[in-house]
Structure 1
């Protein structure tokens, strides 16, 4: 006889990618799902805003990598991403600016291989070898690793994982691994760049994450027309089609617990009862809504964690077009390790920073007036750092100066029609982000898989966590997967039986 699991009334706190993913999968199983979002729109860090003079800014993610993983969300519900937005490949994928010359990463792999060969004899074959290994890691990681709830290490005791262990390079660091293939400094920087998304120095990231190079360079860099926010809107649409209800401008203020079980959530001063709560909100913040004795982790635990960086971001609208600028440009004229030391060791503003410039108006005419340009500037920073307006402006001027040198345009500051900055205290205010982090926990080996914060509360039978501070980790595709993992746990949960084990 088929075991029948009663349907549940489920609250999801937050409508970031993990929250919307969890809501869609939980509602698809027939549960009564309600998403509470403190802002007026979905997306979390992937929100979007429009200025009066016609500039449209994505507030967070801008790199559309691992398109197959994102597409998997849509196919799970019988859709394709093309049902909701148009996805276009970028060519070049991006440009890297160095002190002694630039590299444009082409769309097609064969062109990328030729570029490598031009910069270093024999590196075309080395790239083939690197990518074959990266593809293997990508397929094993995406099919075997990332979908685990990571309750314990026994989940990874499969013949395929055991047989793949040596090929996954879990114990090698990424920098040493790249150096085995390439000697040219530019090529090394190019190959190291993708793991910066994981929130640590390449020398502290396991070589396993070379699968990021395959997920980016081999599968391509894409852009959803209308902006990254189109993905957020599409995920909301799908969740609603499954029956999930979204409640905006609704701030969860307290989690009320009785006898080891959540009884209700206090939302804008009103209590709402639920059978299960899935917290897509910042993990640490969620636990502050509980009595200390019911939290999974104390303050010391969080202080000892390695967090991915925060960021200084500028949203800039310019009154004229800026030539010689690509959709994505990485300004790597300065030393990467020096900047990383300022983030993780010295915890201060960098003296010689690297930064990233996104100019989506080069691809999408709808995100800026015809006469103008839309720029998103991002500089990684240490969490918890003081970010007064004077300091923000100082770094804006430095970034603009380097863009001027690269493009040949002068006096960009005077051509700004719209300007908004966003930094550590904004991440704290808007997302309750621990220390103002932008990307969650760094994917260092000591914070991988089972060693990440758990998706279940150990003392409360019906509280679960999802998002970039738990498994599988930071980034848009992992966050979508995280929501699916938790929804599967909740969908199969017999609450009464589980309560007896807590």
Structure 2
């Protein structure tokens, strides 16, 4: 008889793990508390407009392809990918912008035109980043985080010094123009940490950016969720929405199932892709691995204040991905990670997917997503949301030299309270635990419970870390762990 696995949550890591486990012969059922699957990757549809309300960047296409290849298929059998050209645009103030093209040589030329000699420096910098990418993404991140020995290889031994320097130090010692420095520090934000706290080895994110490029699945990031859903169902995975998991049922220190909407579901194994901290609250205190003190001592990636805005006209002078760095980078980072206050002058990101994908907005109109990274657990009120929306829209108007406020058809927002309510997210975090040195690999929360037999975890609070590609990888890691330990 097949071993039964109950999976909590239907985010990328849960979907990935379920596919691998079903392929290996397990009886897999996913239980999702919300009415749609995908975890943080959901879509808002309203008045003919579409918004990805979670992830909007498609980086590391090779990781997605590796996932689908594991099942004898390809991403192109499920959705169409388009490489964005340009990849994105960065706004530093009025008439002060830098456009990042879709190929490295063009980007090097851009750097060279801004700072003499920086084109050649950038090539060398990206060569180092590619070397680290090959080591990290093709090998290290697929390891389970059981031991420090996983990180010790002939390749990493040659780069040990890169674990004791930082991205900021390397960038600022190589490039003098502050705008170029910020562009090279930006990709590290996907790891949920300050560049000044992120080891140099993580410059592999710069290769993901400049080397592999920025892509867009036609129809949005939710197309990836739909693809994984289709694959999972074809493998026999059962998915139940509106299914709130209220308890992990244990007998002694062994997981025996879950309580869902008041009903007991017997299981041989329980796998949670839900928030790690929340999952442990489903257990008796004595069976929790990590205390409240532990979680409070962690460095979390930011939360976000998000706006989904419909405009009755096309917006000028913006790209599909637009970054507004017209205020001090270091000050905003300090407010996220150190003082943990609402930022006085926030950097923000804006996505206008209808620039390249007409399915996002009716003809002649524009769909826009605005994101302000903020500290976790901040006070979240309608008044604060409105204050920050007015702030960033005014800056958008000034920098892009146009009026847009009077063209808003509607707007929706999503912030700390929503992350807590919708995803049981610790502190309302949006991305999980920051990938700093002391929270890397074997130093992250474990994928296998140390106190409860047959209980496993996956997702952005465990290995390998924040982001969509790491979540796919996390699903593979935990499934391999379960398969290995049960030896079907």
Equivalent of residue 269 in structure 1, options 262, 285, 288: 262
Match for residue 76 of structure 2? 82
SS of the counterpart of 2:319? coil
Is residue 257 from structure 1 mapped to residue 250 from structure 2 by the alignment? yes
Once the two structures are TM-superposed, the CA of residue 260 in structure 1 deviates from its matched residue by: 1.4
Match for residue 28 of structure 2? 33
Q: CA, structure 1 residues 160+202, in 2 after alignment: closer, same or farther (shift >3 Å)?
A: closer
Structural mapping, 1:95-110, within 5 Å: 95-99=89-93, 101-110=96-105
Match for residue 446 of structure 1? 438
Is residue 289 from structure 1 mapped to residue 282 from structure 2 by the alignment? yes
- CA distance in structure 2 between the partners assigned to 1:228 and 1:337 by the alignment: 30
SS of the counterpart of 1:393? helix
Consecutive aligned runs of 4 or more in structure 1 exceeding 6 Å deviation: none
Match for residue 463 of structure 1? 455
- CA distance in structure 2 between the partners assigned to 1:195 and 1:25 by the alignment: 29
For residues 271-301 of structure 1, what are the alpha-carbon distances to aligned partners after superposition, in whole Å with 9 as ceiling and x for unaligned?
0000011100000000000001001101000
Match for residue 202 of structure 1? 195
SS of the counterpart of 2:474? helix
Equivalent of residue 327 in structure 2, options 323, 329, 334: 334
Equivalent of residue 405 in structure 2, options 394, 397, 413: 413
Is residue 134 from structure 1 mapped to residue 129 from structure 2 by the alignment? yes
Over the aligned positions, Cα root-mean-square deviation in angstroms equals 1.3
SS of the counterpart of 2:40? helix
Structural mapping, 1:201-280, within 5 Å: 201-280=194-273
Match for residue 19 of structure 2? 24
Match for residue 114 of structure 1? 109
Is residue 68 from structure 1 mapped to residue 52 from structure 2 by the alignment? no
Is residue 492 from structure 1 mapped to residue 469 from structure 2 by the alignment? no
- CA distance in structure 1 between the partners assigned to 2:211 and 2:177 by the alignment: 20
The total of aligned residue pairs comes to 487
- CA distance in structure 2 between the partners assigned to 1:270 and 1:110 by the alignment: 59
Match for residue 499 of structure 1? none
Once the two structures are TM-superposed, the CA of residue 158 in structure 1 deviates from its matched residue by: 3.6
Once the two structures are TM-superposed, the CA of residue 263 in structure 1 deviates from its matched residue by: 1.5
- CA distance in structure 2 between the partners assigned to 1:477 and 1:364 by the alignment: 22
For residues 187-221 of structure 1, what are the alpha-carbon distances to aligned partners after superposition, in whole Å with 9 as ceiling and x for unaligned?
10110000011122111011111000101111010
Structural mapping, 1:330-479, within 5 Å: 330-410=323-403, 412-479=404-471
- CA distance in structure 2 between the partners assigned to 1:160 and 1:207 by the alignment: 15
Kept in 2, the 8 Å contact 1:282–1:434? The answer is: yes
Match for residue 88 of structure 2? 94
- CA distance in structure 1 between the partners assigned to 2:340 and 2:174 by the alignment: 32
Once the two structures are TM-superposed, the CA of residue 176 in structure 1 deviates from its matched residue by: 0.2
- CA distance in structure 2 between the partners assigned to 1:177 and 1:68 by the alignment: 26
- CA distance in structure 1 between the partners assigned to 2:198 and 2:152 by the alignment: 23
Match for residue 38 of structure 2? 43
Give the gaps of 5 or more residues in structure 1: 1-5, 497-502
- CA distance in structure 1 between the partners assigned to 2:37 and 2:120 by the alignment: 45
- CA distance in structure 2 between the partners assigned to 1:73 and 1:232 by the alignment: 13
Equivalent of residue 308 in structure 2, options 315, 321, 345: 315
- CA distance in structure 1 between the partners assigned to 2:397 and 2:151 by the alignment: 51
For residues 235-267 of structure 1, what are the alpha-carbon distances to aligned partners after superposition, in whole Å with 9 as ceiling and x for unaligned?
111111111111111111111100211112000
Give the gaps of 5 or more residues in structure 2: none
- CA distance in structure 2 between the partners assigned to 1:134 and 1:82 by the alignment: 27
| TM-score with structure 2 setting the length | 0.98
Match for residue 3 of structure 1? none
Once the two structures are TM-superposed, the CA of residue 302 in structure 1 deviates from its matched residue by: 0.2
